[in-house]
Chains A and B, each alone.
Chain A
């Protein structure tokens, strides 16, 4: 089955869901998870074929560069599967009223749009999916229907619309210079047309636009408020999954279109600033949700640093950090749902739920980067790749990442100490429910499995990075026999 179904099914499902739920509430509850499971199966089945050869799907049968093409390599498929799996794990708590149903519908739209972002090979198509992702996430962010949720969401909408308009300006500049929006054709034409100041301006506009979702340094002020005001599942979804898709757009554009070293320097600088501001703000945070939100800004900063390292080594390192964060951050947010609130209210959590506290420690240690957990390995890859680069900026980034590890350890250990502080049995809070713990345990097991199969995992990721960095291969796959206008 074609991977394009991974985009079509959730979108179709989103519109069918209200009808199905009207016929039977039971079917309505199972419908979304069923669609996403099917998506995962399709993705895994397509993996073998895509590993041998990348697939190019011309939508509507219009051949690129005239029509819109979906480009499916292992990187795109990996993120598409991760979206379906992540949304499935973070599926909103089943309720039967209309509000819960709307939330389910929006979640499916979010999954479809995010998959589209992973697969699309056309710049304007990416913009449309980006906006679709944004609109679905606005609805989810405001779903709690209280003043704080409205205010936080409005702030998010304003920043996001501002970013989207800048992205549109960037796309207009690209189109003026090249007359095409197909990524493969852009890659062909870029060396003569987009390597000047105009191309750099277009890159900065698109970077800031996509950076809103990817929690890039200057446009990430919405992050803590929205994550604190929305339900923790939504926070986990936005921080863990959706931000990585926005990052993927930036990476694709860097590899294919914007090849000037200045573009990488800008990304590196903003990444370093993101790490510094995110980690320091997390250290100052006094409630767990916002601490996790700020720490996610810091982690995204590490990814920006990694992706600013040219060549497959940077892609490999960035991919490792991104995947690791995709596993760890949603699980931490899920645990924070019950352990949320001020840090000192966490006291006694280990008495209420020893498993949850144990999982928190495992996830936190991996987030800090304690060997032998995968978080250590991911950060180690970034540091070694950055050290191999000439220039003081990369050295500075290494220093910042290492300092950030110390800061992260300091604030996460503070949380762990609180978890294990003993309180009188009357003050022990609620235990976690079974469903949340199962999901977190599954994600924790994924971390341990990653430790055990580190070598094959590393080889696999290296292969994916090499394929993603293959610019000529992308052009050849989308535009065989050198189609040119």
Chain B
């Protein structure tokens, strides 16, 4: 039995990270978990990008003392991944800042509660009642919403 191909393992890992990340974003209800899922998704994408320049058994693309290695990995994706990592870290830091701010304003990190608070705040600012299932845009209904909203 031959040893498993390193490339195949890494590909599986990259797609696995991507799937875990997407699944995490979709099913998590806790904000920090969502942020961590994005980290996993980005790591998967970066790994995939690295693999696009991967060649089995190749050396790093550095010429030392004029000796050119027989097979070199493609350096371009490595430069790209470096950029992508920097962007990713910056955005993740920004996300965590927003999470902290949200926590201090609303006192919760549960996205269902946050969504309700956001909806209520926006409705209050606009001076309309909360959206309900029967919010048909008839003038009479809008009139009552105005009475409730007042001159906010």
Contacts of B127 in A (CB 8 A): 287, 341-342, 345
A411 to B101, CA, bound (A): 37
Q: How many residues of A contact B (CB 8 A)?
A: 51
**Residue on A with the closest CB to B87?**
A131
Q: In angstroms, how far is the closest chain A Cβ from the Cβ of B22? A: 8
Q: Is A355 an interface residue (CB 8 A)?
A: no
Interface residues in A106-139 (C-beta closer than 8 Å to B)? 124, 127-128, 131, 134-135, 138
A162 and B38 form a contact (CB under 8 A): yes
Contact A345 B77 (CB under 8 A): no
Q: Is the CB of A332 closer than 8 A to any CB of chain B?
A: no
Q: Is the interface of B mostly helix, strand, loop or mixed?
A: helix
Q: What is the CB-to-nearest-CB distance from B64 to chain A, in angstroms, rounded to a whole number? A: 23
Q: Chain A binding site: helix, strand, loop or mixed by DSSP?
A: helix
Bound CA span A474–B84, Å? 28
Residue pair A158, B49 in contact (C-beta under 8 Å):
no
Give the residues in chain B near A172, CB-CB below 8 Å: 45, 48-49, 51-52, 77
Interface range on chain B (Cβ under 8 Å from partner): 35 or more
**Chain A contacts for B139, CB-based, 8 A:** 344
CB of B66 within 8 Å of the partner chain: no
Q: Which residues from 43 to 69 on chain B have a C-beta closer than 8 Å to any C-beta of chain A?
A: 44-46, 48-49, 51-53
Task: Pick from B35, B41, B94, B135: contact of A286, CB below 8 A.
Answer: B135
Least CB distance from A307 to B in Å reads 26
Q: In the complex where A128-B87, A176-B52, A342-B149 touch, is A168 in contact with B46 (Cβ < 8 A)? A: yes
A364-381: CB near B (< 8 Å → 1, else 0) gives 000000000000000000
In the complex, chain A residues whose CB is within 8 Å of the CB of B121 = 146-148, 151, 229
Please judge, given known A-B contacts A158-B95, A169-B48, A179-B74, whether A286 and B122 are in contact too, CB under 8 Å: no
What residues of A have a CB within 8 angstroms of the CB of B94 in the complex? 135, 138, 157
Where the two chains meet, the residues of B that have a C-beta atom closer than 8 Å to any C-beta of A are 18, 21-22, 25, 31, 34-35, 38, 41-42, 44-46, 48-49, 51-53, 74, 76-77, 80, 83-84, 87, 90-91, 94-95, 98-99, 101-102, 105-106, 114-115, 117-118, 121-122, 125-128, 131, 135-137, 139, 142-143, 145-146, 149
**19 A-B residue pairings within 8 Å (CB atoms):** A135-B94, A148-B122, A150-B98, A151-B121, A162-B41, A168-B48, A171-B49, A175-B53, A175-B76, A175-B77, A176-B52, A179-B74, A286-B137, A287-B128, A290-B122, A342-B127, A342-B149, A344-B145, A345-B127
Known: A135-B91, A229-B121. 15 other contacts (CB 8 A): A131-B87, A135-B87, A138-B94, A148-B125, A154-B98, A161-B91, A165-B44, A172-B77, A173-B48, A225-B118, A225-B122, A287-B128, A289-B126, A344-B142, A344-B143
